[in-house]
Amino acid sequence: MGILLLLVGLLGLVSGGLKLRARVRSHVGAPLFALAETAVGALIVIASAAGLSRARPIAWVVVVLGLALVLVSTSAHVHRAVRQRRGRDMSEGERLQEYLRSRETP
Tell me phi and psi for residue 12, to 5 degrees: -65, -45
User: Per this entry, what is the length of the chain?
Assistant: 106
- Distance of alpha carbon 93 from alpha carbon 99, whole angstroms: 10
Q: What is the pLDDT of residue 41?
A: 95
pTM summary value: 0.79
Residue ranges in the chain modelled with pLDDT below 70: 27-30, 105-106
> In the prediction, which pLDDT does 97 show?
84
**Angle in degrees, CA 93, 95, 97, rounded to 5:** 70
Note the pLDDT of residue 61: 95
